[in-house]
Amino acid sequence: MRDSKDSAFTLLELLVVMAVMALLMGILMPVLGSARSQAKSLVCRSNLRQLVIAGLGYAGENDGFMVPAARDMWNDSGYHRWHGARSNLNEPFDAAGSPLRAYLSETQVKACPANVAFLSGRQWTANYEQGCGGYGYNMTYLGSRLWDPKSSIGMNARYAHTTAIQEVKQPAMTLMFSDTAMSTDGENLIEYSFAEPPFFCWQGTVFEGDFMSPSVHFRHQGRASVGWTDGHIDMRQAASHHGENAYGVESSHLNLGWFDPVGNAWFDLE
């Protein structure tokens, strides 16, 4: 009979096995993490595609005019957005009141699967755009007529009236939706439903002296998902941009910014 001691693992053998397992885990974990991240970005792009299709569907049934981003923005009522409506400022937006509801496959905006730790709550100051799923719309150039140099309508009407699809000269180069977020304290992110261009535009004039608060969120390994007005979706790398937003926050520390070349060309109608 063979001695049972001969079939046992020695301490050295156990240490070798453990070292090999640790080495394999060190190799596999980044690969698995990258695979999970890629899977989430694919789902995110699918969500954006649904939003773009919904936006185009809305335009198709509304004489070519795009969905309003925030039709009551000017009077500060804050009850209506492209992604929903609410009756109390301290409540999240309800997707049932979204003008895009009839054009979305699940009648609501799907949340980005990147699991961004957005602040949530019922206080207006804590999360004033809650319910947009982490996606933002090109309000300045598509969801309003802030840009229009010829229009004589007042401010209320400029937010309530929008751009016609035929006014977009290069749909493949005009952003409709993208990953977005905002920070008001430098530590936390809140949902933000507008993809802001780098510079404010008013009646055809682009004010390049000061940057807007960046809201494009590069949450997918330094890249952001972007949905374009012609219907295609792609990923964009963050440009090198530094500066404080309207809340005194250095946005680049939270992966907020724009992509190259930094300017309004990716947002405007030209």
**Model pTM?**
0.85
DSSP string, the chain: ---GGGGSPPHHHHHHHHHHHHHHHHHHHHHHHHHHHHHHHHHHHHHHHHHHHHHHHHHHTTTTBPPPS-TTTTTT---EETTEE-SSTTSPPBGGG-TTGGGSTTSSPPPPTT---B--SS-TTT-TTTTSTTEEE-TTTTSS-TT-SS----HHHHHHS--BGGG-S-GGGSEEEEEB-B-SSSS-BB---B---SSEEETTEEETTSPPPP-EE-TBTTEEEEEETTS-EEEEEPP----B-TTS-BGGGGTEE--SS-SGGGTS--
Spans of the chain, pLDDT less than 70: 1-9, 28-38, 76, 122-127
Residue 75, pLDDT score: 76
How confident is the model over 195-212, as pLDDT tens digits? 999 999 999 999 998 899
